[in-house]
């Protein structure tokens, strides 16, 4: 085993050790959880943002219940099977915070609940709702929102090479929008993002993540959120991108290797123009 450099609780495990650990008591009792190291990034970014209050914020969040007089509220809007929820829930417990872990699919919501129980996360509500409704159901309720949306899963290429073709195949249309077959998924992701944004309180943080590579499902969605006219549509609150390499204290060499790192992470600011760079991604 070797440590994950940017996460003190993370370890890379050799396949043979993984087989053994997969049948071990710590796995069954939820003391360890298997996932790709990159899967830990979104929750770690959110955790670091909520902890590192010197990161630019017009309305800084307080890191603990004793500072604020109330508990941090975090929403994981697409949460099953729960890798990120267990990560966030364990951290939030130490902060006296509350996690709402939502999953639209009832069967997967049950797996999510089981995994949270196994991991000993009790400061948590599991809901089974369409994430696209959460913004209207709980407007501006959360200090932080994780939108780990359903995607074309190109990141599974190692396990499933066909995922690369499914994600990126097909010619883009002439106007720079995604291929037609791709649009329903992209549209759903955008509706989820918009709902998450509504559920976020001003000054809060939203992390949008996928396990896919193509720009329509990633950068283009974040750029859309950063655009001024969208801010008007979403209640006048502008998003500003935050440099997550700085949040995670990544060295510049590592940061430049991570594509789209800045727009991944958005801060909800009132009356501010977007601090994002100029972007040249296609329209969603």
Kindly list the residues in this chain that would bind ligand SAM in the complex (CB under 6 A): 39, 77-84, 102-105, 108, 130-132, 148, 150
Assess contact for 223 and 263: CB atoms under 8 A. yes
Phi/psi zone of residue 249: left (φ > 0), alpha (ψ -120 to 50 degrees), beta? left
Q: How far is the CB of 174 from ligand SAM (least distance, A)?
A: 30
Query: Which residues define the annotated binding site for S-adenosyl-L-methionine?
Result: 78-84, 103, 130, 148
CB 150, min distance to ligand SAM, A: 4
Q: Which is nearer to ligand SAM, 10 or 81 (CB)?
A: 81
Count CB neighbours of 115 within 10 A: 21
Catalytic residue among 124, 151, 153, 211: 211
Tell me whether strands 98-102 and 124-127 are parallel, antiparallel or unpaired: parallel
CB of 102 to ligand SAM, least distance (A): 6
Cβ-based nearer residue to ligand SAM, 57 or 115: 115
DSSP alpha helix (H) spans, the chain: 15-22, 25-28, 41-51, 65-68, 83-95, 106-118, 134-137, 162-168, 183-199, 219-226, 228-233, 244-247, 252-256
Active site residue 211: yes
State the Cα–Cα distance between residues 100 and 71, nearest whole angstrom.
13
- As given in the structure block, the two tokens for residue 246 are 């700085």
Nearer to ligand SAM, 34 or 181 (CB): 34
Shortest distance in whole angstroms from residue 221 CB to ligand SAM: 14
Name the residue nearer to ligand SAM (CB basis): 39 or 95.
39
Residues serving a catalytic function are 211
């Amino acid at each position: 085993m070797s440590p994950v450099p940017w996460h003190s609780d993370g370890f890379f495990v050799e396949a043979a050790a993984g087989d053994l650990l997969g049948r071990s008591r710590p796995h069954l009792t939820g003391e360890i959880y298997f996932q790709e190291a990159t899967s830990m990034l979104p929750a770690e970014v959110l955790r670091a943002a909520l902890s590192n209050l010197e990161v630019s914020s017009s309305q800084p969040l307080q890191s603990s219940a004793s500072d604020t007089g109330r508990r941090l509220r975090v929403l994981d809007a697409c949460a099953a099977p729960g890798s990120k929820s267990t990560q966030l829930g364990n951290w939030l417990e130490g902060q006296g915070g509350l996690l709402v872990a939502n999953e639209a699919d009832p069967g997967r919501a049950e797996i999510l609940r089981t995994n949270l129980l196994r991991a000993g996360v009790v400061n948590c509500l599991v809901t089974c709702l369409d994430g696209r409704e959460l913004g209207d159901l709980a407007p501006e309720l959360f200090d932080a929102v994780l939108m780990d949306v359903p995607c074309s899963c190109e990141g599974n290429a190692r396990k499933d090479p066909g995922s690369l073709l499914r994600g990126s195949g097909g010619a883009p249309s002439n106007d720079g929008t995604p291929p037609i077959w791709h649009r329903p998924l992209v549209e759903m992701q955008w509706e989820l993002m918009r709902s998450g944004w509504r559920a976020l309180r001003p000054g809060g943080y939203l992390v949008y993540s996928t396990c896919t590579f193509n720009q329509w499902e990633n950068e283009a969605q974040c750029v859309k959120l950063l655009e001024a006219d969208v801010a008007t549509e979403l209640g006048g609150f502008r998003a500003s991108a935050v440099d997550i390499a700085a949040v995670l204290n990544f060295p510049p060499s590592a940061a430049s290797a991570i594509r789209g790192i800045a727009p991944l992470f958005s801060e909800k600011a009132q009356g501010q123009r977007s601090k994002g760079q100029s972007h040249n991604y296609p329209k969603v």
